[in-house]
Amino acid sequence: MLSKIKKVIIFLLFTFLSYSFNHTEEVIDRVLASVGDEAITLSDLKIVIHFNIYPEIEKKYIKKYIERIIDQKIVKRKVKMSFPLDEEIEKEKNRLIKWFGSEERFFNELLKFDLTWDDLKKYIEEKIYYEKIIKDKFKFISPITLDEIKKYYNEVYVPEQKKKNLYPKSLLEVASEIESIIENQKRKSLISKWLEDLKKEENIEIKIKDINEILAQLKINDME
Amino acid sequence: MKKVGLDWMLSFTRDFRKILISFLFLSLLVSSSYAHGFTYKKIKKIELVIGNSKIEDEIKKLILIKEGDNFSLRKVRDSIKLIYKTGFYSDIEVRIKDLKKNDEIEVIFLLKENFIISDIKFEGIGSTEIKNIEKKLKSIQEGEFFSESKLKRACEEIKGKLRERGYFYSSVNYYIKDIKKSKIKIFFRINPGKRLILKKIIFEGQNILSEKTLKKIMKTREGGVYKPYILKEDIERLRNLFQKKKYYRCKIELKEEIINPKEGSVIIKIGMDLGEKIEFLVRGAKIPISLFIPLWKERVFEEWALTEGEAKILYYLRERGYVFASVVSEIKKEGTKLNIIYKVTPGKKYRPGEIIFYGVKHFPVSRLRNRFKLRTKPIEIWINGNRLFNLPKEIEDFYKSQGFLNVKITMNFQKVKNKLNVLIYINEGERSLIKKINFIGAKSFSRNHLLEQIKSFEGGPYYEPLVRADISRLEFFYLNNGFRGTDIKVRVKKKDISNISLDFIIKEGERIKIERIIIIGNFVTRRSVIKKELKIKEGDFAYRNKIIETKRRLEALGIFTEIKIEEIPLGGNKESLMIAVKEGKQNYIGFGLGLLTKREPYSSAVWNFEIMPRVTLEFSRNNIFGSASLFTFVTQIGPWEKRGVLSFEQPYFFSLPFKSFINAWIEEEDRKSFDYNKMGLSLTNIKRFNEDIILLYRMRWTRTTLFNLEISESEIDKEHRPFSTSSIAGTIIIDKRDDFFNPEKGFFTSFTSEWAHPLLGTESKYFKNFFQFQNYVPLGSRLNFSSTVRFGFAWGKVPISERFFAGGSNSFRGEKFDELGPNDPISLKPVGGKALILFNFELRFPITHTLKNLYGAIFYDTGNLFPELKQIKLRDIRNALGFGIRYKTPLGPIRIDFGIDLTRRKKIIPYITIGNVI
C-alpha cells in the first residue's frame, strides 16, 4: 500500500515538475550593451563566438568580446573612411571554411543560426574595418629609445628569465625582441587611450549586471 | 508505526532525488537544442509587455515576426535592434515559451521603458553656483533620454565644475522622481564641502618681473579662498602681460597644487617658461606688427613663421595698391633675444587701369569680364592687388570646366604713368568635347530621362569633376525614385580630344515600396497632426526627397526637439518607415528689458530722460491639445506705449495648408498729434510657397478711441469717437535677400491691399494700398549700394490712426519722426496723409581694414506725404541728404545718421537706430 502511494506521489510530482520545467520561459535574446542607439544583443555575441570571428580572444572572456564589439561600433561611428574590403572578406571566409572543416559544414552552421552569408559578412566587415583603421592610424609610433630597452631588460626580462630558472641572454642578443615588445605595448596603450577618448563622446551602456548569467545562457544554448 | 513512517519517508526521499536528477538531466538535454530546434516551430502568439502594462500598437509594427510564421532568430534580433533604436526603451528581452503542442511556441517581448528627463534640479548649493553648473553641464540635459551611465558622467562632471570653483571635497548624489509615465525629474544633491585657503603662491622660472608685481595683477590672493577658475583667468592675464613685453611664446601653467587637508590650505606653484624676447623690425614700409605676432605665439618652425610673415606683408601691401612689393626676412639671435627683420620694398602704388585679354577665341571677352566681375572703370577706392594674383588661377579653372584641359594663362603688367594695365594672355589649347553619352544597365528609365538629370551633355565640354558630380546626381535621382542599392560608375573612352564618350554603368538596385509607416514618441501630439505633414504614404515607393521633405515639415512645426526617420527593410522590396519624435517643452516664460526712444537724440538726450525703458513679458504654451498650436501672451509696457496681445497660432486653417493666427490685443500709444487706445481682433493666414514667397491674408476688427488730440476735429474724419473698423487685407512678400538682418545682395518687395467696409456696426470705409521694393547691390571692395521705393495710396474716409505717416530714421532723414507731410494748421502737428511717395538711396563703404564691421554711408532720401492722391505735386517733393556711420551686429546695423532737408534748409538732425531703412 505504502509503496503504491509512493509511486502515485512520485508520478504526480514528476508530472508537475515536467510541466513547470517544460513551460518555463527561456531567454532567447536580449540587449547586452549599446553604443548610442545601436544595440548589441546576446545573439550577436553567440554569433561572434561560434563563428570564431575573433580568434585571438578566448571563449571564456565574454567581457572582452563585448568590449571589442563596442570598440568596433565606436570606430565605425566616429571614423568615416572608404576603402575596399572585398579581398580581406574573402580571406576571412576561407579561414572560416577551413576552421569548420568544409564549406558544407560552414553553411550548415550558418543555417543553424538563421544566418545567410550576407548576414555574417556584416560582422566580418565591421571587424576588418576596425582593424584597418587601427593599423592605419597607429602605423608609426615614436621610436623606442635605448634607455627604454635597457629599462625593460633590467626590470622585466632579466627577472622573468630568473623566475623560469633560465640564464638571461645579453642585452645585445634580445634588444630587437625587446624593442618589438615595447613597440607593441606602446601601440596598445595609444590605441587604448584613443578609444577611451572616442568613448567619452558616445553614450555607452552595458546592461549585464552579472557575467555569470550570460555565461549560463551561453552554456544552455550549447556553445561549442 | 513511527519507524515504518520514517523508513517510508527516507525511501521516498531517495526515490524522489533519483527522479529529480533524471528529470533535470532530461530537461537540460531538451533545452540545450532549443536555439536550433525552435527555428521550425510555429509562432502561436506574440506578446509585448512593459512591466505590467500593455504596449502601444505602433511598437508592435516594429516586430518582424508574425503570429503564424515560423520562428526566426534573425528576425527577433533585428526586431530588438529596431525597437532599441527608437530610444524609447532602455532594455529589451525576448523569451520563448514552448507550448509543447503542434510544434507551437509563444514569443514574449519584455520592454523596459526609457524615460525622458523633463527637469534637472540641484540641491545643496546657492543659485549662482547652480547657474554656473547648469549652463556648462554637457553630459546630461533636459529633453534627453535617461540612462545610468549619463547620471554617473553627470556626477563626475558636476564634481569637476565644483572643483573649478574651489570645492575640492564635494560629494554628489542623485535621486529620481517620476512625474508622468515617461518623464522623470532628476535631483542632484550636492554637498559642496569645505573650500581651501590659499596659503602661498610660488612662481618658478622667471626673473623679469618681481613676485609682488605678478601677484598684484592676479585676482587670486594669498589668504583668500582658492578658486581654480579664477587662477585660470590669472594665468591668462600673466600670459598677456608677458606677451606685451614681447615674450610672445611664453608658457605659463599651474605646475602643482600642494593641498594640506588638515589645515584646509593649499600652496600653488606656477611654472613660467618665457622663451625668447622677440623684436620685430620692419624696414621700408609701415606695416602693423599685429599681422605677424600670432605666428610667433606658438613654438613653430621659425622658417615657416618667417615665410608666413612675408606672405602677410605682401598681402597687406597689395591690397593697398603696391602690386610689385617684395619682402626679404631674416632672424638674428642676441642671447635670449630674437630679432625678426623684414626688409620691405613696396614699389610704386598704382591705380587700376585696364584689364586686357589676348588669345580669347571661344568666348566673348564680355563673358569673361562678367564672370570674374572685372570692370575697366570700377568705383574703387583701393585697388585689390591680391585679387590680381589669383586671377590667372580663376581663369584657368573656368577654362578647364569648359573642356579646355590644357589651357595656359600668363599675366603681365603694363605701367602707364601711375596706372597699371593688366594683360592676360590665354593659350586656350584644344577643347575636349563629349561626343556620346551612354547609360548601360539602366532599365527603369529612358535615356532621355537620365540625360535630363546630368549636367554633362553631348557636344558639351568634358570636365572630370563635372562627370563625378553627375554620378552623384544620378545616384540621388535613383534614391528619389525609391531605388536603394544602386551602384553607378563611369567609363571614359577618349578616341581623340574632341571625341570622348561617357558610359555610365548603372547597376540598378531594388525599387522599394513603403509597406507601413510607424509613428512613435508622440505622447502629447495627435497622430493626425503628424500624418498631415507626411509627404509620403503607405504604398508609395520610398522616394528619398519626399522622406527628407517630411522630416523638414515636421521640424517646421516647432514642437519636436528631435525627429528620426529610419527605413526598415522588410525583404521582398518592402520596407517600413519609422518616424520617432521627441516632443519639446511646452511652456515658455520670457522677460525682456529694452530702451525706447521716440525723439531724436541730442547731446543731452540721456540727461533729459528721452531714452526710456520698455519692459516685455511673454508666456507661451506650445503644442496645445496635441495639435501643434501655439498660445502666446505678450505684454509690453513703456512710457509711450502699452500693449497686450493674446495670440493663437496653428499650422493649418480648417485642414487647409495655411498657417493661421488669431490675435486679440489692447494697446495704447502716444503719437505726435494724438494718442489712442485700440483693441482689436484679427485672423491672419499665411501661405509660404517656397523659401522666398509668402502670401498673407488678414481679417481685422478694431475699436479705436482717440484722445489728447492736437489737431482739429475735422482731421479725424469721423463724427464720433470711439470708432470701429473692420477690414480685410492681402499681402504678398517676395524676399530674395541673402540675409535678413544684414543683407548685402538681393531684393525684398511686398504689396499690401486693405479694404475696410462697414460691417457689423463698424464705421470704416476706405481702401488702402502699400507697395515697397528694396534692392542691395554689392559693388566690390566691400562697397554696397541700396535703394528703397515706397508708395502708399488710400481712398475713402481713412481714420487718422490708419493713415500713412513718414519722417525719421526709417523713412525720411530730413525730418523728425512722423513729421513729413501735412500738419495741422493750428497746432502744426502731423496729421498723416493718404498718398505716400518715398525713395531712399544709400552708398555704404568701409572705413578701415581693421574694423571689418564699421562702415560709413552717404544717403539721399526724396519724397513726400500728401493729404490726398489728387494733391500729389512734383514741386512738393522734398529732398534730404546726409551721412552716417554703421556698425554691423548680428541683429542688424547700429546706425548713426545725420540728415539735412535740402528743400527747407532746416538744421541737421541726428538719428540713432538699429536695423536697415525699411
Q: Are B480 and B544 in contact (CB under 8 A)?
A: yes
Those of residues 31-50 in B touching chain A at CB distance below 8 A are: 31-36, 38-39
Helix residue ranges per DSSP H, B51-126: 57-60, 73-85
Q: Do A43 and B19 touch (CB under 8 A)?
A: no
Alpha-carbon torsion B384, B385, B389, B391, what sign? positive
Ramachandran class of B132: left when φ > 0, alpha when ψ lies in -120 to 50, beta otherwise: alpha
| CA-closest candidate to residue B120, choices B150, B141, B96 | B141
Q: Which three cell numbers stand for residue B366?
A: 564680355
How far is CA A139 from each of CA A44, A75, A128, A136, B454, rounded to the nearest angstrom?
30, 17, 16, 5, 41
Residue B210 host element (H or E): none
Q: Do B33 and A2 touch (CB under 8 A)?
A: no
Per DSSP, the three-state class of B911 is strand
Q: Do B15 and A10 touch (CB under 8 A)?
A: yes
**In this complex, is the C-beta atom of A4 within 8 Å of any C-beta atom belonging to chain B?**
no
* Statement to judge: residues A39 and A79 lie in one domain: yes
Question: Count of A–B CB contacts within 8 Å?
Answer: 119
Output b/e per residue, B717-735; b: 16+ Cβ within 10 A.
Answer: bbeeebbbbbbebebebeb
The three state secondary structure string of A144-209 is CCHHHHHHHHHHHHHHHHHHCCCCCCCHHHHHHHHHHHHHHHHHHHHHHHHHHHHHHCCCEEECCC
Q: Do A119 and B74 touch (CB under 8 A)?
A: yes
CA–CA min distance B16, chain A (Å):
7
Q: Where are the beta strands (DSSP E) in B213-311?
A: 251-260, 265-273, 277-283
Instruction: Tell me which residue range forms the domain holding A212.
Output: 30-137+207-224
Mean pLDDT of chain A: 86
Q: Are B62 and B94 in contact (CB under 8 A)?
A: no
* Statement to judge: residues A220 and A193 lie in one domain: no
Cβ neighbour number for residue B212 with a 10 Å cutoff:
7
| CA-closest candidate to residue B510, choices B548, B478, B533, B464 | B478
Q: Pick B32's closest partner by Cβ from A17, A28, A222.
A: A222
**In this complex, is the C-beta atom of A52 within 8 Å of any C-beta atom belonging to chain B?**
no
DSSP string, B324-377: T-EEEEEEEEETTEEEEEEEEE-----EEEEEEEES--SS-HHHHHHHTT--SS
- In one letter, which amino acid is B158? I
Q: Pick A203's closest partner by Cβ from B12, B95, B147.
A: B147
pLDDT at A121: 94
Helix residue ranges per DSSP H, B45-109: 57-60, 73-85
Judge if B116-191 and B277-345 fold alike in CATH terms.
yes
Contacts 24+ apart (CB under 8 A), B139-142: B140/B186, B141/B117, B142/B117, B142/B118, B142/B585
Q: How many residues does chain A have?
A: 224
**HSE value, Cβ hemisphere, 13 Å, CA-based, for A209:** 2
How far is CA B903 from each of CA B376, B811, B828, B871, B881, rounded to the nearest angstrom?
37, 16, 18, 18, 10
Ramachandran class of B236: left when φ > 0, alpha when ψ lies in -120 to 50, beta otherwise: alpha
Pairing label, strands B337-345, B277-283: parallel
CA–CA min distance A3, chain B (Å):
8
pLDDT band with cut points at 50, 70 and 90 for residue B389 = confident
Q: Pick A113's closest partner by Cβ from B20, B73, B147.
A: B73
- Spell out which residues of chain A touch residue B150, defining contact as CB-CB under 8 Å: 203
* Statement to judge: residues A40 and A122 lie in one domain: yes
Report how many domains make up chain A.
Answer: 2
Cβ neighbour number for residue B22 with a 10 Å cutoff:
11
How far is CA B840 from each of CA A197, B786, B787, B837, rounded to the nearest angstrom?
58, 8, 6, 10
Taking the C-alpha atoms of residue B38 and residue A26, their distance in angstroms, rounded to an integer, is 11
| CA-closest candidate to residue B422, choices B407, B437, B441, B409 | B409
Q: Which residues pair with B775 in a beta bridge?
A: B747, B787
Question: Which tops the pLDDT comparison, A7 or B663?
Answer: B663
Q: Do B94 and A31 touch (CB under 8 A)?
A: no
Output phi, psi for B285, to 5 deg: -160, 160
Q: Do A13 and B19 touch (CB under 8 A)?
A: yes
pLDDT of B16 higher than 50: yes
**In this complex, is the C-beta atom of B27 within 8 Å of any C-beta atom belonging to chain A?**
yes
- Spell out which residues of chain A touch residue B15, defining contact as CB-CB under 8 Å: 6, 10
pLDDT band with cut points at 50, 70 and 90 for residue B103 = confident
* Statement to judge: residues A93 and A66 lie in one domain: yes
Domain assignment present for residue A9? The answer is: no
Q: Are B510 and B485 in contact (CB under 8 A)?
A: yes
**In this complex, is the C-beta atom of A118 within 8 Å of any C-beta atom belonging to chain B?**
no
pLDDT band with cut points at 50, 70 and 90 for residue B7 = low
**In this complex, is the C-beta atom of B149 within 8 Å of any C-beta atom belonging to chain A?**
yes
Domain B197-273 in CATH 3.40.50.2000: no
Taking the C-alpha atoms of residue B636 and residue B276, their distance in angstroms, rounded to an integer, is 59
CA–CA min distance B288, chain A (Å):
41
**In this complex, is the C-beta atom of A161 within 8 Å of any C-beta atom belonging to chain B?**
no
Q: Looking at the domain that runs over B512-583, which CATH code has it been given? A: 3.10.20.310
pLDDT band with cut points at 50, 70 and 90 for residue B55 = low
Contacts 24+ apart (CB under 8 A), B758-762: B758/B726, B759/B726, B760/B701, B760/B726, B761/B724, B762/B701, B762/B723, B762/B724, B762/B725, B762/B726
Domain assignment present for residue A3? The answer is: no
Q: Are B399 and B405 in contact (CB under 8 A)?
A: no
**In this complex, is the C-beta atom of A14 within 8 Å of any C-beta atom belonging to chain B?**
yes
Ramachandran class of B385: left when φ > 0, alpha when ψ lies in -120 to 50, beta otherwise: alpha
Most B CBs within 10 A among A5, A9, A20, A25, hence the mutation to make, goes to: A25
Those of residues 127-156 in A touching chain B at CB distance below 8 A are: none
pLDDT at B710: 74
- In one letter, which amino acid is B762? T
Most A CBs within 10 A among B81, B89, B90, B138, hence the mutation to make, goes to: B81
Name every residue whose Cβ is closer than 8 Å to that of residue B751 and which is 6 or more positions away in sequence. Answer: B731, B732, B769, B770, B771
* Statement to judge: residues A121 and A215 lie in one domain: yes
Looking at chain B, which residue has its C-alpha nearest residue A29?
A: B94
Q: Are B693 and B674 in contact (CB under 8 A)?
A: no
Of A149-163, A207-221, B47-61, B403-417, the poorest mean pLDDT is in A207-221
**In this complex, is the C-beta atom of A223 within 8 Å of any C-beta atom belonging to chain B?**
no
Of A203-212, B151-160, B397-406, B758-767, the poorest mean pLDDT is in B758-767
Q: Which three cell numbers stand for residue B765?
A: 470705409
Pairing label, strands B513-520, B510-511: unpaired
Percent share of chain B, pLDDT over 90: 49
Q: Pick B73's closest partner by Cβ from A18, A114, A204.
A: A114
Domain ranges of chain B: 1-32, 34-113, 116-191, 197-273, 277-345, 351-427, 434-508, 512-583, 672-678+699-723+738-748+755-914
pLDDT at B387: 76
The one-character DSSP state at B146 is P
**In this complex, is the C-beta atom of A224 within 8 Å of any C-beta atom belonging to chain B?**
no
Taking the C-alpha atoms of residue A149 and residue A181, their distance in angstroms, rounded to an integer, is 10
pLDDT band with cut points at 50, 70 and 90 for residue B520 = confident
**In this complex, is the C-beta atom of A92 within 8 Å of any C-beta atom belonging to chain B?**
no
Taking the C-alpha atoms of residue B457 and residue B474, their distance in angstroms, rounded to an integer, is 14
Orientation angle between helical segments B464-480 and B544-556, nearest 10 degrees: 80
**In this complex, is the C-beta atom of A43 within 8 Å of any C-beta atom belonging to chain B?**
yes
pTM of the full predicted structure?
0.74
CATH number, domain B351-427, options 3.10.20.310, 3.20.10.10, 1.25.40.10, 1.10.8.50: 3.10.20.310
CA–CA min distance B98, chain A (Å):
6
Class of domain B672-678+699-723+738-748+755-914 as given by CATH: mainly beta
Domain B277-345 in CATH 3.40.50.300: no
Q: Pick B96's closest partner by Cβ from A9, A10, A25.
A: A25
**In this complex, is the C-beta atom of A115 within 8 Å of any C-beta atom belonging to chain B?**
yes
pLDDT of B33 higher than 50: no
The one-character DSSP state at B195 is B
- Spell out which residues of chain B touch residue A207, defining contact as CB-CB under 8 Å: 91
How does pLDDT run across B299-316, given as a tens digit for each residue?
Answer: 778 889 899 999 999 988
Instruction: Compute the average pLDDT of residues B339-344.
Output: 94
Q: Do B94 and A29 touch (CB under 8 A)?
A: yes
pLDDT at B650: 87
Domain assignment present for residue A142? The answer is: yes
Output phi, psi for B547, to 5 deg: -65, -40
Domain assignment present for residue A70? The answer is: yes
* Statement to judge: residues A115 and A45 lie in one domain: yes
pLDDT at A11: 64
Looking at chain B, which residue has its C-alpha nearest residue A208?
A: B91
Instruction: Compute the average pLDDT of residues B465-483.
Output: 96
Taking the C-alpha atoms of residue A131 and residue B139, their distance in angstroms, rounded to an integer, is 30
Looking at chain B, which residue has its C-alpha nearest residue A24?
A: B97
pLDDT of B397 higher than 90: yes
How does pLDDT run across A63-100, given as a tens digit for each residue?
Answer: 899 999 999 999 999 998 877 888 999 999 999 999 99
Domain B434-508 in CATH 3.10.20.310: yes
* Statement to judge: residues A131 and A118 lie in one domain: yes
* Statement to judge: residues A193 and A155 lie in one domain: yes
The one-character DSSP state at B430 is P
pLDDT of B589 higher than 90: no
Per DSSP, the three-state class of B143 is coil
Q: Do A21 and B27 touch (CB under 8 A)?
A: yes
| CA-closest candidate to residue A30, choices B55, B109, B65 | B109
Q: Look up cell 629599462; give the residue.
A: A151
Q: Do B80 and A23 touch (CB under 8 A)?
A: no
Q: Which residues pair with B580 in a beta bridge?
A: B520, B564
**In this complex, is the C-beta atom of B77 within 8 Å of any C-beta atom belonging to chain A?**
yes
What is the fold of B116-191?
Ubiquitin-like (UB roll) (3.10.20)
* Statement to judge: residues A216 and A152 lie in one domain: no
Instruction: Compute the average pLDDT of residues B872-883.
Output: 92
Q: Are B791 and B778 in contact (CB under 8 A)?
A: no
Most A CBs within 10 A among B79, B93, B114, B153, hence the mutation to make, goes to: B93
The one-character DSSP state at B426 is E
Domain B34-113 in CATH 3.10.20.310: yes
What ipTM goes with this model? 0.85
Cβ neighbour number for residue A193 with a 10 Å cutoff:
10
